[in-house]
Amino acid sequence: MSGLIFALVVIAVLWALAYFAAPLLAWTVAIGVALWAYGFHYHSPPVVAWAVLVVLAVLLNWRPLRRLLITNHLLVWFRKVLPPISETERIAIDAGNTWWDADLFTGRPDWKKLLATPAPALSDEEQAFLDGPVEEFCRSLDDWQITHELFDLPPAAWEQIRKHRFFGMIIPKQYGGHGFSALAHSTVVMKIGTRSTSAAVTVMVPNSLGPGELLLHYGTDEQKSYYLPRLARAEEIPCFALTGPYVGSDAGALPDNGIVCKGMYQGKETLGFRVSWDKRYITLAPVATLLGVAFKAYDPDHLLGDKEDLGITLALIPTNLPGVEIGRRHNPLNSAFMNGPTRGKDVFIPFDCLIGGTQYIGQGWRMLMNCLAVGRAISLPALGTGAGKHASRVTGAYAQVRKQFRVSIGKFEGVEEALARIGGMTYRMDAARRLTAGALDRGEKPSVLSAILKYHCTEGMRQVLGDAMDVHGGRGVMMGPRNYLARGYQAVPVSITVEGANILTRSMIIFGQGAIRAHPYLLKEMEAASSEDHAKAAVDFDRALFAHVGFTISNAARSLFLGLTGAVFSPAPGDAATRRYYRQLSRMSAAFTFTADVGLLMLGGEMKRREKLSARYGDMLSHLYLASAVLKQYEDHGRPPADLPLVEWACQDSLYAMQQALEGILRNFPARTVGWLMRLLVLPLGRPYAPPGDRLGHHVAKLLLEPSDARDRLTRYAFTSADPKDPVGRMEHALKQTLAAEPVEEKLQQGLKKRLAPANYLKLVDEGEKKSVLDAREAALLRETYAVARDAIDVDEFGKLRGE
Ligand SMILES: Cc1cc2nc3c(=O)[nH]c(=O)nc-3n(C[C@H](O)[C@H](O)[C@H](O)COP(=O)(O)OP(=O)(O)OC[C@H]3O[C@@H](n4cnc5c(N)ncnc54)[C@H](O)[C@@H]3O)c2cc1C
């Protein structure tokens, strides 16, 4: 018995050492004490065990010997299995920095650190801009006119863009822009997106990756002083052209070229580039006056030096130069923002046209990646979140107003399910949008998080708009001025495709770059392995590798402990309702980090080709982040109890998504036995999570169906209107009217002992008034409700369709 207790104590101590990632010396001492205690208890020292301990202790604790006998050999092996990293990949990995993603990759996220970050907030000036010019701009937009009649924004909208400097949100005040925070920039794009996708894309492009941002970071003083004020006032319409027929996701493979040569510019001979390009899909290109172009620079005549192949270079080319071709348009799924091809043949540009001047020749890829690390976290996530807010507001209202089988369709369980997804996902997208914008405003440049945001907010958009269309049935399908959904739904693939097409983002970027960027040791090991300084490489690699091993063992021990105990002992902030989610996220963080480490160890460079596996690891990392954002938003909003259904739905959905991803990793792990062993550690008692339950879904759906503070908070900054003639205002008005009429309808049904239906509605109102069941005011209310509800469900009719 005492032997059993002794063994249990030893296991517990070793487990604790592993759990807390104790240093090697602590392990050595602990095992020494255990061997001494064993010898003392049994009066016979375990000689062989002592000998093994001494050899291992010396070998592992004496670093020069450890390097000589172990690490240097592992370094040779590591160099062989190291994924070949191209220059373009290395630049993408180096771009930006890490933030909360790095914490999630430790297996023990520091929740206090997350909660201590300030709640993102708009300044008074930014709020005034939203309440004034943005509101006015939105109100003036008629998306049907834009997408069906004009195929462009109306001249008055372009005028407002100029007057209120919508193109200058990221341009500092000293250059005539607004100098807005990332949060304000995101909120403006989001709000416009709830009114018109075409208008939102038009406004968002000059404020995201393009001439403005590139000039801000890399422009010469002259370029900044000249162009930025003109861009802010939209006197210059910018676009940025990278993509071409042969250049899509593999954006580094540019065939477009620029040859260093002498040429004539404004009557003078000067050195410059003769540039030729063939680009397509370029937003704003048809109306651009300033064309940002990425090309590969060559110096075959050695006018600049010895090097011939100079690398990707970025230039700003005025579109009135001879040889520049713009003006033709694509039709991106009937969205009416300007988009088209641009071509140039032997266009001579002086070096002054290079962004940042000659010092940035060949630096184009780095410049683009650095800007993408930030920009990708703002525009498209804003558009996706806006879609969620708009869908929540209008679908909730429609599901209340539209009745079938004499019941509001929102009360049917099937419809509830769709409404719950819309509400829960919108809360989560908004939380992630705000958290990330706040991080950007504190100077972080989290490139992995920006990829997570881009992917999940645009996929979220696809889901919520699909659900919204389903709930609207034919009302969503029939296009026309009354339809406030179909154009956004149609445009979903645009957001899915741009700034890193989603399949690629999920299967290559989020984990592929995230693992290297956010992992506490991997990048250090890779840097050491690729270092030319062999002595330093050996020391650095040894240090990183042993810390990494301790880290992996710790996460294995933590995963098992947290799995067996349901993580109930894990320290967690929050309140009674949310504490368990912090705990489960800590558990999943340990499981993710441990399985990711084993995956990287077993697959090495092969991981790059295992995109399905990489995508599942990416899903885990993403949902760890998204659920963290949800919990943080709940705290930032002061823990409103009414928001809890949304918070819980989003957290439960994320946990379930993580579990699905983990299950996929374990089941498809290339070494089956390793997959099975990992399962024992990370899911020791089976699968703990289920999708959000029916009752919870009911509460979320209910929240969308009736006006409330929680509904207003969820849909804050979605464009709304009180005008019953406005497409959105019509639905808001009908919702209020329907709810106001409900008790009166009930009174009428009770009084007449008859059930109201569309066919007898007006007749029963007349009868009720005649028999004094209703007074005149109540009868008028019901007659009006009947008309308002009919107007809200009506779709457009046309005498003739275009082209008929
Ligand atoms: C409306 C619109 C506006 C745009 N605006 C601009 C602009 O202003 N400037 C500009 O330069 N470009 C712009 N683009 C181009 C956009 O960035 C590209 O469309 C995008 O990079 C994808 O390239 P592609 O369309 O050629 O798709 P492809 O690269 O051919 O990809 C097709 C599919 O294959 C997937 N895929 C590719 N490689 C991999 C991989 N290794 N692993 C997994 N999946 C992979 C992709 O995810 C995608 O689903 C715009 C595009 C659109 C549609």
Q: Which residue has the tokens 């255990």?
A: 34
CA angle 387, 391, 396 (to 5 degrees): 160
Residue 603, pLDDT score: 85
Residue 623, pLDDT score: 98
In three-state secondary structure terms, 290 is strand
Question: Which pTM was predicted?
Answer: 0.95
CB-based contacts of 341, cutoff 8 Å, min separation 6: 278, 279, 280, 281, 282, 285, 325, 328, 330
**Catalytic annotation on 499?**
yes
Q: Is the dihedral of CA 252, 253, 256, 261 positive or negative?
A: positive
How far from 682 is each of 22, 106, 157, 548, 660, CA to CA, in Å?
21, 15, 55, 19, 13
Atom number of ligand 1 nearest to Cα 337: 1
CA of 631 to the centre of ligand 1 (A): 33
Residue 484, pLDDT score: 97
At 292, phi and psi to the nearest 5?
-80, 130
Choice among 236, 499, 525, 778 that is catalytic: 499
In a mutational test of the pocket of ligand 1, which residue from 281, 490, 613 has the highest number of ligand atoms less than 8 Å from its CB? 281
CA of 652 to the centre of ligand 1 (A): 32
Residue ranges in the chain whose pLDDT is less than 70: 1, 83-84, 803-804
Helix (H) or strand (E) holding 311: strand 309-318
Helix (H) or strand (E) holding 257: strand 257-265
In three-state secondary structure terms, 573 is coil
Q: State how far the Cα of 611 lies from the Cα of 249, in Å rounded to an integer.
A: 15
Q: State how far the Cα of 220 lies from the Cα of 716, in Å rounded to an integer.
A: 40
Nearest CA to ligand 1 atom 40: 504
CA of 500 to the centre of ligand 1 (A): 6
- State the first-to-last Cα distance of the chain, in angstroms, to the nearest integer: 92
Q: Which residue has the tokens 């009736």?
A: 706
Q: Measured over all CA atoms, what is the biggest interatomic distance in the chain, rounded to whole angstroms?
A: 106
**How many CB atoms sit inside 10 A of residue 171's CB?**
27
Residue 518, pLDDT score: 85
* Tokens coding 24: 């090697």
Nearest CA to ligand 1 atom 43: 504
Helix (H) or strand (E) holding 263: strand 257-265
Residue 84, pLDDT score: 66
Atom number of ligand 1 nearest to Cα 251: 21
Is 364 within 8 Å of 438 (Cβ atoms)?
no
In a mutational test of the pocket of ligand 1, which residue from 240, 497, 613, 614 has the highest number of ligand atoms less than 8 Å from its CB? 497
Give the rounded distance of the alpha carbon of 75 from its chain centre: 36
Neighbouring-strand partners of residue 257: 276, 296
Residue 228, pLDDT score: 96
Q: Which residues line ligand 1 (CB under 6 A)?
A: 239-243, 248-249, 281-283, 332, 339, 494, 497-498, 501, 503-504, 507-508, 611
Using only the alpha carbons of the chain, give its radius of gyration.
31
